[in-house]
Amino acid sequence: MVQINFQPEVVAKLEQKDLSKYHILLDLEDGTAFDERHALSCSFDVNFRLLLVPKEVSLPDFYLMVDSNLGPIGVKKNSQMYLDSNLKLTQKAGSSAIILQNDSGIIDSNVPVKIVSGE
């Protein structure tokens, strides 16, 4: 079973927002989610982002829920191949970049956080 562990430095960064208003989504940037009007680049990199979406917004693409220490996190089905049982989101000291990693290593070294209106 997939579990995401937000390390304390990432929790502190996210708690600067009022998380009670939002769904937290771990979005694989594949052109199928909120606010992806821009063209996708031809890249072999795997890019994720944390989306904070108002709770009143429907989330048809994010129907899989993953347990975390911040509550359920929505993910898309097509991101499952990158998500194993022991994920963590962390930050290196002195850096603002959030890192997504598993027991094998780093999946994405720069996971941005974005508040999405859902419009």
Q: Residue 52: what pLDDT? A: 94
Q: Residue 54: what pLDDT? A: 94
Q: What's the CATH architecture for 3-115?
A: Sandwich (2.60)
Q: Is 21 helix (H, G, I), strand (E, B) or coil?
A: helix
Contact 3, 67 (CB under 8 A): yes
Lowest mean pLDDT among 6-10, 40-44, 81-85, 87-91: 40-44
* pLDDT tens digit sequence for 55-93: 999 888 888 999 999 999 999 988 888 888 789 999 988
* pLDDT bracket for residue 39 (50, 70, 90): very low
Query: Has residue 44 got a pLDDT over 90?
Result: no
pTM: 0.86
Per-domain residue ranges of the chain: 3-115
Query: Has residue 117 got a pLDDT over 90?
Result: no
Q: Residue 77: what pLDDT? A: 87
Per-residue burial over 29-66, b if 16 or more Cβ lie within 10 Å, else e, is beeebbeeeeeeeeeeeebbbbbbbeeeeebebbebeb
Q: Which residue's entry shows tokens 């027991």?
A: 103
